[in-house]
């Protein structure tokens, strides 16, 4: 877990279940590059994580919700946020 959020494993499995493709590439001195989408259908978003890797799952979650707001992934995590707020 990354504090109170989902683990990287959970995020990746939920993206897969929602048919959202992701690519994560690391480069030793430049952190991680994350792309949502794929080469065949195009990438919808890309961002870099140069901070501690502990932030990676939350950043992926937020970007996936932004780019795929009608996906099962977004519905699941929006519901979780709503429950947390109540």
Residue 4 in this model has a pLDDT that exceeds 70: no
Q: Is residue 17 part of a domain?
A: yes
Question: Could you tell me if residue 1 is inside a domain?
Answer: no
Q: Is 26 left (phi over 0), alpha (psi -120 to 50) or beta?
A: beta
Q: Copy the structure tokens of residue 8.
A: 């990287």
Check residue 67 and give its pLDDT.
97
What is the model's pLDDT at position 24? 96
Do the domain assignments include residue 79?
A: yes
- Total residues belonging to the chain: 86
Quick check: 85 pLDDT over 80? Answer: no
Owning domain of residue 33:
8-85
Report yes or no on 80 lying in a domain. Answer: yes
User: Are residues 22 and 36 in contact, defined by beta-carbon separation less than 8 angstroms?
Assistant: yes
pLDDT in the model for residue 1 = 42
Answer yes or no: is 45 within a domain: yes
Residue 3 covered by a domain? no
C-alpha 8/C-alpha 41 separation (Å) is: 24
Per residue in 18-75, pLDDT (tens digit) is 999 999 999 888 889 999 999 999 999 999 988 788 889 999 999 999 999 999 999 9
Q: Number of structural domains, the chain?
A: 1
Q: Is residue 81 part of a domain?
A: yes
Instruction: Give yes or no for a contact between 85 and 64, defined as CB atoms under 8 angstroms apart.
Output: no
């Amino acid at each position: 877990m990354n504090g109170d959020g989902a683990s990287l494993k959970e995020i990746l499995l939920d993206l897969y279940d929602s048919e959202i493709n992701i690519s994560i590439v690391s480069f030793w001195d430049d952190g991680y590059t994350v792309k949502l989408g794929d080469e065949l259908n195009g990438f919808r978003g890309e961002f870099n994580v140069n901070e501690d890797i502990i932030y990676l799952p939350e950043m992926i979650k937020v970007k996936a919700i932004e780019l795929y707001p009608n996906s099962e992934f977004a519905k699941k995590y929006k519901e979780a946020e709503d429950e947390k707020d109540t």
